[in-house]
A and B are shown apart, each in its own frame.
Chain A
Amino acid sequence: MNESELAHFKQHLRVYLAVFIALAVLTVVTVAISYLDLPTGYAITVAMVVATVKAFLVAGYFMHLVTEQKVIHWLLALSAAFLVFLFVLPLVTELGNGPLWTG
């Protein structure tokens, strides 16, 4: 790495630090929100939105997905599609069957 490449690379370090601070703040935010006793539906939505933002920060910057090759993006898109299938299929088959178990 020459001088200018090094100077450019050092900018990445600031991004990593910013992402770390954002992750720590969002962790505190998600815990703080849980103490507000929101209705379950809202609480789940807010927590999952915060977790998804954190996941995108980790995957995008720590795992370098923002600058990664297309082949990795396609691989993950395929994986995401199967993941959706994995979530939807059991729910669809159980729809209308009543409670699975009683608490």
Chain B
Amino acid sequence: MSELVIPYRTEPHPVTGVTSGKLGIWLFLASEVMLFGALFSSYVLLRVGVLQEHWPLGVEAGLNVPIGTFNTIVLITSSITMVMAWASLKMDNVGAYKKYFAATIALGLLFLVIKGFEYGDKFSHHIFPATGWPGAGDPSPFYGLYFTFTGLHALHVALGILVNLWLLIWGTALFKTDPECFTGRIEIAGLYWHFVDLVWIFLFPVLYLL
């Protein structure tokens, strides 16, 4: 029986110039653009559909800007550790890769823990997706958007952490036998991780600052 070989795993496809994995992740990310895009589009529609004075600033609705800023820095830092993990593999330094990749996972977890505390604080003030906030007049879609946006984003962070954990604990062995293939996998995991960071770059000002 001949061995099954998956084509264009490490060598670029002659037509596209990229590996199948890379084309795949970018197609997936393009679909993610539409998923988050639909939410941002809903936000714009709901916001322009109301008089300006009825739309709260994040601060007025009870969001904590310093905590949100800190969490933004946490996610940005996890992006540089992610790219450094990949660069370490490119330079054949598995030890450095493991440290940077573990740091990326830890920072992702820290982001989720902080987000969890923020959610807990909202729930303790009886703020839920379908409610307003203390001092608000009529119900507003603000917290419906906040929880949908941040919940979907947190789900993406959580899934990224799981995949990265798998790659770190069980996947790394592949580097010994097929370094190019494994480095490609870390690059692909990185593309997803940076995309999740990129979504937060827009989410943070939209929800907390404007």
Contacts and interface: CB of A to CB of B under 8 A. Distances in A.
Interface of A: 1, 6, 9-10, 12-13, 16-17, 19-20, 23-24, 27-28, 30-31, 34, 40, 43-44, 47-48, 50-51, 54-55, 58-59, 62-63, 68-72, 75-76, 78-80, 82-83, 86-87, 90-91, 94, 99-103
Contacts of A1: 90-92
Interface in B50-87: 50-55, 65, 69, 72-73, 76-77, 79-80, 82-84, 87
Interface stretch (B119-127, B137-145, B165-173): B137-145
Contacts of A59: 194, 198
B49 interface: yes
Contacts of B42: 90
Interface stretch (B110-118, B148-156, B201-209): B201-209
A75 B30 contact: yes
B117 to A, nearest CB: 19
Nearest to A54: B201
Tell me the dominant secondary structure on chain B's binding face. Answer: helix
Contacts of B52: 40
A38 to B, nearest CB: 10
Contact of A9 (B22, B76, B87, B201): B87
Contact of B80 (A16, A27, A87): A16
Contacts of B138: 102-103
B163 interface: no
The A interface is mostly helix, strand or loop, or mixed, namely helix
B184 to A, nearest CB: 12
B209 A6 contact: no
A18 to B, nearest CB: 10
Contacts, number: 144
Given A47-B210, A102-B54, A55 B198 contact: yes
A20 to B, nearest CB: 4
Contact of B55 (A51, A71, A103): A103
Contacts of A16: 80, 83-84, 87
A4 B44 CA distance: 50
B69 A62 contact: no
Contact of B205 (A30, A75, A82): A30
Contacts of A86: 34, 37-38, 41
24 contacts: A1-B90, A9-B90, A10-B91, A24-B73, A30-B209, A40-B52, A51-B201, A51-B205, A55-B202, A58-B194, A59-B194, A71-B18, A75-B30, A76-B26, A78-B30, A79-B34, A83-B33, A86-B34, A86-B37, A87-B40, A90-B41, A94-B49, A102-B50, A103-B51
A75 B76 contact: no
Nearest to A91: B45
Given A31-B209, A91-B44, A101-B141, 10 more contacts: A6-B91, A19-B80, A23-B79, A48-B205, A55-B201, A69-B17, A79-B30, A83-B33, A83-B34, A102-B138
